[in-house]
Structure 1
């Protein structure tokens, strides 16, 4: 890193979601970006001072996506197809954006499909945004390094995210 260069952390409120090459993201919240590997223990005969611990199988929790409801029916149709028994697995990427709107880092998720959808709580006494929640099961996360400067903004423009 050169003298005077900044290496600021990414902000957690700047992100977009892409599913099968479609930017579907104006999500307000995403959770479930984690992996856990419970160690397997192996007791070796003749070794009495310790137990070997080997990495176990990776377990990825479901991703939960929350956003204000829009007129876009892409995610609703996907969920309904799953409810109807026509499960369509899709790959996707969650991208963090830097302060200029460029894609800075991301996580690809593989073979995802909807396992839960919930609509907004409706109340005549409230003026809050109607929020829908979509939960996706998937087969794993892979880190996606940042793209060259300017490419992320161009991809968002193509995807129609920037006003």
Structure 2
């Protein structure tokens, strides 16, 4: 193993999110980093064909099981993936940029954005990253206000997107997005 290989998992509480805003917004939770490959009946339903392998052979005659299974799968060109909406949560502040993004999308004055999620290691350096392509806001949820419980007021934005892909040069992306400084010389991120 080289010195860069890692066998222990990364902690999940250290991450950075870029939604194309400067300075970057801080988020307390990210949900929806998931990809599902539709196969068999799911893919058949999605493309309108019946690709299940039905046979009159008795149940105990397995024949060439692998070929039967392989034939039931859609071809590589017809396989589909889907991902759930991405949910980003943060504490409510005086910053209205999430609300403004939703309103701009409704008004048709903004375009879809790539959203970047970067997992950080213990030293705060980027370890892994994912890009959600062409994200658009589909729901904004404000804080739950309850008089008899204390806690932080949070807001959540839900984003539909065209898919998730890994970021190959996560260090380069991190340096480009979060390596900038504000007007006082402080590093963002």
1:158 aligns with 2:158: no
Q: Which of 97, 116, 125 in structure 2 is aligned with 1:93? A: 116
How well do the aligned residues superpose, as a CA RMSD in angstroms?
Answer: 3.1
Gaps of 5+ in 2: 45-50, 58-62, 182-186
Larger strand fraction of residues: 1
Q: Deviations over 1:111-149 (max 9, x none)?
A: 10000001001233333111001000000111014427x
Alignment size in residue pairs: 159
CA change 1:84–1:9 in 2 (3 A) is: same
Does the 8 Å CA contact 1:102/1:153 hold for their aligned counterparts?
Answer: no
* TM-score of the two chains, using structure 1 as the length reference: 0.80
Say if 1:94 and 1:6 are closer, same or farther in 2 by CA, change over 3 A: closer
- Match for residue 29 of structure 1? 29
| Cα deviation 1:84-125 (Å, max 9, x = unaligned) | 344521112100011111111110011100000010012333
Aligned to 2:104, the other structure's residue is in SS state: helix
- The one-character-per-residue Cα deviations of 1:15-46 (angstroms, maximum 9, x if unpaired) are 111123646342111111111121146368x9
> 2:145 matched to which residue of 1?
122
Q: Which has the higher helix share?
A: 2
Q: Indicate the structure (1 or 2) with the bigger Cα radius of gyration.
A: 2
Corresponding residue number in structure 2 for 1:9: 9
* Distance in structure 2 (CA, Å) of the matches to 1:12 and 1:84: 36
Q: Do 1:89 and 1:112's aligned partners in 2 also have CA atoms closer than 8 Å?
A: yes
* 2:171 corresponds to which of 147, 151, 154: 147
